[in-house]
Amino acid sequence: MQFKNIHLLMLCITAFFAMAGGALLAPVLPDMVEPLQTTSHEIGLLISAFTLSTAIFTLVIGHFIDRVNRKKILVPCLVIYGLTGLVSYFTSGLQLLLILRFIQGIGAAALLPLTMLVIADVYKGHESLHAMSMVSMALAIGSVSAPLIGGVLASFGWNYPFLFYTLSLPFAFVVLTSLPETRVQSNNDDHKDITNGFKALKELRVTYTIFQGFMIFFLLYAVLVYVPFMIENVLGYTAKEAGLMLAFQGIAIILTISRVKSLASKYSKTMIITAAFVLAGLALLSLSFAHSIVAVFPLILLFGAGYGLAQTAIDTQIIDIAPSESKGGVLSIHNAMKFFGSCLSPIVLGIVLSHFDLDTVFRIAGFFGLLVALMTYLMKDSFENSGDEHIKETEKIALSH
């Protein structure tokens, strides 16, 4: 079966579900504190349980992702993702919800790695950048619509947002019957596992790109988790309005991603990523001084622009530099570290919040963003010199076929 635009759309929908795993609940967390009889510090564990599980099982799945047909992993994961959402709707205790969120994270674990791996199977050179831009657009749309959907559904009841996850159940059937299998059989498949991915970490560019993915998701969840608390508890708005504010971040991401291909023709990925972390860091730092909705709004847009640039450039970079014989393993590690970033963000910043205040949370997160920007700029020579040679060689091979 030939791979068509409709199949790329399926990958985009898969990425959308991956993003919705955390973004959907973010604006609803303050509303869950009272019915679940917990605290604002503990409620963030609903995000951390999901992302920690996703991170761990992304590595587990990565152990055999290069040796197994893509759909054999993707379809069961979509089913687990949807069923746990359905059961969560009928659950009223925090401990059981945390268990269900952990199980749901198992289902989410394969969604982003397989999306990226199928793109690596099908697209080469600049086509890969275009395909990743479309997937990044889907993630951005998820960051726009998921908080909005979560906020609107929460107006019916704190548990209604969980029903959204059940949409992955009919989608799993569509994937099973319509998505082509892209994995190419090879004689050395038996030797492909995640250990090859870890061996690739000896390459500094691979390791540092994975670290960049970790950090941009750490910063993203600083916004997703703590901006709603600022909007509701400090500024006095509702979950629906918090979701709307986070949605504007997604609009900025979409507008930025549409420019990534144009920017990539003028600037190196390293400089794009550097600029992205500067924007994200400055936005977070400035949030600590913003005490009105008018001040918060442009900073959310600024962060969205930085995140959109970083996500697309980092994901394209890891696809470009990952060794072909261990690409699935590297992508699994890359995506696992994103989820570790998502997981550690509410834990680390939650500890900060328990000892200080929201302003300190945003200042520390902003400092991290600016520090990564500086580190990335200082490493630009090692990326641009060897990176350009690798990309040229890849495009040369693609053209020869």
Mean pLDDT, all residues of the chain: 82
**Res. 83: pLDDT tops 90:** yes
Identify the residue with better confidence: 80 or 225.
80
**pTM for the full predicted model:** 0.73
Q: How many CB atoms lie within 10 A of CB 39?
A: 10
Question: What is the structure's pLDDT at 252?
Answer: 80
**Res. 296: pLDDT tops 60:** yes
**pLDDT tens column, 362-374:** 999 999 999 999 9
Residue 5 lies in a domain: no
Question: How much is the average pLDDT of 198-217?
Answer: 89
| Mutual angle of helices 358-378 and 380-400, in 10-degree steps | 70
Residue 6 lies in a domain: no
Domain with residue 34: its CATH number is 1.20.1250.20
Q: What residue numbers bound the domain in which 209 lies?
A: 11-178+190-396
**Res. 348: pLDDT tops 70:** yes
* Beta strand residue intervals within 55-156, DSSP E: none
99-113, 183-197, 215-229, 345-359: least confidently modelled range = 183-197
- Number of domains the chain contains: 1
Question: What is the structure's pLDDT at 285?
Answer: 93
Residue 127 lies in a domain: yes
User: pLDDT class for 42, splitting at 50, 70, 90?
Assistant: confident
**pLDDT tens column, 125-150:** 667 777 877 887 787 777 777 878 88
